[in-house]
Structure formats: C-alpha cells, structure tokens
Structure 1
Amino acid sequence: MIFPVRQEPVTHQLVVPGGRDATDVVHADLRRRILSGDIAPGSGLSQARIAKERLVSRGPVREAFRLLQREGLIEVEVNQRARVTDLSVEEVEHLYALRVSNETLALGLSVPRFSPSDLDELDRLVDAVAAAEGRGFDRWEALHHRFHMRLVSHAGQRMLSSTVLWAEHTGRYRKVYVGRDGSGWTLGAREHAELARLCRARDAPAAATLLARHLSRAGLALIASMDPAHEPALLRAAIRQALAAAEGGTPP
C-alpha cells in the first residue's frame, strides 16, 4: 500500500496553459504550502496573482480555492478574496480527538493483519524517525507521518483516507509544538519503538493504549502551549473512550 507522505518543501510547479490538470496542480501546491507553514496562517491569497504566476486562467485557481475552502484550509469572502485560516485551539482539540478515537481503533484492527514485511518496515521507520531528530522539521515530519500511517494501514481505505487527512492537518500544529518543546523528540522516539515492539508481539490492546497516550500527550501539550486556560473536555473524553475500548471495558 502506498501512503500519501508529505514531502520537504519544493518550488511550486508551473502548469501547462490550458492543461486539464491545472486545478489539481494548483490545489496540490497551495495545499502543501499551507500545511507545511510555507504560507503562514492568516496570509491573503490572490486569485489573480496565483493565476499569473502559474500561467493559467482564474478558473482553475477558483476551483482550487473551492477545494481548499471545503477542507477548511482557507476562508473565501464574497468578493473572492481569500485568506489562510488561522491556527485555533478548538480545531487542534477536535483534530486530536478524532485521531485518538480513530487511530486506536484502526491500529487494533491492523495489528493481527500485519505481515512480516509490515513489521520490518515499522522497525525501519522507528530508526529513520529517530535519526531525523534535529535535522529539520520537514524531514522528520515526513517520516513521522509515514510511521503513523503504517500503524493503521490495514483498517481499510476509507478509514485510512480520513486518518491521513487529520494527520496532515495536525502537522501544521506539530511544527509549532516540536519547535517549542524539544523534549518531545526523545519521549516520542521511545514510544515509537515500543509501539513497533507491541505490534510485532501482536499485542493489539497494549499497542492501542500506548497510541492513545502518545497522541493525547502531543495534543494536550500543544493545547496547553496555545491556551493554558482552555479545558480540552472533548479530547479528554476521546482519551477515556479509547483507553476503555483498548482495555475491553466501557467508557465512563
């Protein structure tokens, strides 16, 4: 299975004037630059300027804006002026609540289905993520994203697609979190190694429990750094539910 992995920033593509793929190219380029932080939250986007840079009409740019707006990455006003959505503590809480709930379920489904090559790939990615620490966020993030998507790779394409989307969106926030708190590197690396070990041992409940704690720790730390006064009731409820499900109980 091939996973959508965010790559390191590259110069944006020009499209062939009139080409049928113009919308896809413009959308993919803008999306990557927004998620990576290359286009900062709150930045304005001009249809005319983007169309001129890429040598296309405004039609493909307008359609790309529509796709980005549907995903929640930009806001478009009536006059078609657009801006990149701001980072918000409410959004990051919802994203991590979704990830905790769905990725723990998906991991539990995937563990008994992992092939020997899947398990070997998890081990390789653990080493690669650890080796990338301190060598730039974008390289680390691409490998980190791939590791987490490998964990849920046998839960079905529909669930994987949703998980990829939410993980990519939290990447905007992880860039802030990793940059502010270097202690997350070492603890995260230890948890990655333990997750891979539990998968190889076919211990789905323990792996799901650790993943819930791993994701929630990152989410709660990020929420605290953004707004110490914010009470993450939704995320805490998702954590309790995920832990209860992993342990075979019922959520409180």
Structure 2
Amino acid sequence: MNVHPTANTVSQVKTAEGQRRPRKSEAVYQDLKRMILTGQLTSDSPITEQALAQDYGCSQGTIREALMLLQEYGLVVRQGYQGTFVTDPTPLEAQLMLKLRVDIETTGIVETVKHVTPKDLEELRDLDLQFEGYRAKRDVFGCAETDRALHLRLFQVARMPALEPILLRTSMMLQRVMMPGPRSESAWTKPNVTHHSEIFDALEAGDEALAVSTLKAHILSSAILLAPQFYGTDLRRLQQEFNLPPVQVVNAAGR
C-alpha cells in the first residue's frame, strides 16, 4: 500500500480519499491542497477560476471540479462572484475539531482491537515506514498525506464506514490548522510525540486500554508539537481536557 502525494500525477490514481478522478482535475486538486496545507495559499486573497485556469492551462470546468473537492473537505469556502477563499479556522473550531477526532478515533480503536489482523498490521507498519521516509526528507506534505492515510486505514479496520468521511474531513481540517506553522529541526529529528509504532504494538498485544491511551497520546502530543498557538504546550493539561472514555453502545433501554 503506497501513498503518492505528488501533484504531477500523469495517470488516473486513487487517492487516500478513496475517489477516482480525471488526471487533470486530480493534479490541480492535489497541487492546490498542497499549497493550502503548507500555507502557500491563505485566506488573504480570493482564488478565481479564471486565474487558476490560466495558471494550469486547463478549462474553468476542471478548476471548478478541483475547487468543489477542496470545499467538500473544508479547505475552501466558495462565495459566489467574490471568489473562493481558503478557510481560516478559529481557535474554537480548532478545539472542537481536535475533540471530534479524538472521540472518533479512540472509539474506533476499541473496535479495531477486535478485528485487526496480521495483514492489517503489516499494512499499517508499511505506511509508517513511508511516513518516516518523508519525515527524513523534511517533506511536510508527504508526511501529512501519509499520516492521514495511515489513520484512515487504522479506522477502517474498526468497520465503522459511516464515520470515515467525517474523520477524513476532520483530519484534513486539522492539518490545515497544524501544518502551516514553522517547524524546528528538533521537531523533525526528535519529535516529542507518541509514535505510530506504539499504537501498533498495543494492537498486536490485544490491549484495548493501551491502544486507546497511546492513540490519544499520539494525537494530542502531535497537536501540541505542530500547533501550540491553538493547543498550548502542556500535554498533561490537554490530556485532562480530553479525559473522557470512548463512546460505548447502550441497549434500547438505555442501560
């Protein structure tokens, strides 16, 4: 299972979002997504279909398709004749999105423990190797694409398909919050985060409580590393804010 985050794809591809698109709109979509997530495109000025069509040498219809996909994932908002603008999440929105992601993923991993297979773990560890490769190259966008694919694959094992689109959009919006900020060399070489491998080890051991705690620690420590302006620098405080058990199913009588 390989993730190819480059925009210059010359054939039809299936992305981490799981949808097939014509190659030109795919290339435009991927390139615009890269520029938004890395902070090269901001909310300061509108994005117009005509200007983009000239830049990419394609029709406005192709640009419109790419922009609609970006809107679907919450990265832009279209405002009629005023143009299309990159979304700019508020601190409150950033907090709510992080809470939503933690709730969905920690609930999901309880189910993942029940269903995960050695083949699933092999795929997850392969994605982690790809992630580490992009990290070694200081490839911000490559890391983001692979990390999102890894977490979506982890959640897919839980067999909760109705929530996958919500998790995908939430994860991408959180990357919009976390990625554009500056990153120190130590954040690349010695990131103070709980690593993916610790989550996989807990899954392999069949330890539900450890899987939940390591996944939560991974998400929250990453948020502090990449977006302290939104989430602060105190991991213990942030963990206390999110110190709620995963959602559990109750029967019809509410018991």
Normalising by structure 2, we get a TM-score of 0.70
Distance in 2 (alpha carbons) for counterparts of 1:88 and 1:210 = 28
Q: Please, what is the CA RMSD of the aligned residues?
A: 3.9
* 1:17 paired residue number: none
* 2:251 paired residue number: none
Alignment of 1:34-49 (within 5 A): 34-49=36-51
Say whether residues 1:216 and 2:220 are aligned partners: yes
The letter for the 2-side match of 1:170 is L
* 1:7 paired residue number: 5
C-alpha contact 1:23 1:64 (8 A) present in aligned 2: no
Distance in 1 (alpha carbons) for counterparts of 2:39 and 2:206 = 37
After TM superposition, give the deviation of residue 80 of structure 1 in Å.
3.2
The letter for the 2-side match of 1:143 is T
| Post-superposition CA distance 1:83-129 (Å, at most 9, x none) | 22235333322221111000111111112211111122333334443
Distance in 2 (alpha carbons) for counterparts of 1:113 and 1:150 = 13
The letter for the 1-side match of 2:47 is L
* 2:81 paired residue number: 79
After TM superposition, give the deviation of residue 215 of structure 1 in Å.
1.0
Say whether residues 1:194 and 2:198 are aligned partners: yes
C-alpha contact 1:12 1:29 (8 A) present in aligned 2: no
Distance 1:205 1:177, change over 3 A: farther
Distance 1:87 1:210, change over 3 A: same
Which of 147, 169, 182 is the matching residue for 1:144? 147
Distance 1:151 1:84, change over 3 A: same
- Structure 1 residues 103-112 or 153-162, which shifts more? 153-162
Paired residue total: 232
C-alpha contact 1:205 1:246 (8 A) present in aligned 2: no
Say whether residues 1:165 and 2:183 are aligned partners: no
Tell me, which stretches of 5 or more residues in structure 1 are unaligned?
A: 14-19, 248-252
- Larger relative helix fraction: 1
Distance in 2 (alpha carbons) for counterparts of 1:236 and 1:10 = 43
Distance 1:133 1:34, change over 3 A: closer
Distance in 2 (alpha carbons) for counterparts of 1:196 and 1:67 = 32
| Aligned partner of residue 42 in structure 1, secondary structure | coil
| Aligned partner of residue 183 in structure 2, secondary structure | helix
Which of 177, 183, 195 is the matching residue for 1:179? 183
Distance in 1 (alpha carbons) for counterparts of 2:214 and 2:247 = 10
The letter for the 1-side match of 2:162 is R
After TM superposition, give the deviation of residue 214 of structure 1 in Å.
1.6
| Aligned partner of residue 44 in structure 1, secondary structure | coil
C-alpha contact 2:131 2:146 (8 A) present in aligned 1: yes
- Structure 1 residues 200-209 or 210-219, which shifts more? 210-219
| Aligned partner of residue 133 in structure 1, secondary structure | helix
* 1:16 paired residue number: none
Distance in 1 (alpha carbons) for counterparts of 2:133 and 2:194 = 13
C-alpha contact 1:198 1:204 (8 A) present in aligned 2: yes
Distance 1:222 1:132, change over 3 A: closer
After TM superposition, give the deviation of residue 32 of structure 1 in Å.
4.6
Distance in 2 (alpha carbons) for counterparts of 1:117 and 1:208 = 21
Tell me, which stretches of 5 or more residues in structure 2 are unaligned?
A: 12-20, 249-255
Normalising by structure 1, we get a TM-score of 0.71
* 2:17 paired residue number: none
Identity %: 23
Q: Which has the higher contact order (CA 8 A, sep 6+)?
A: 1
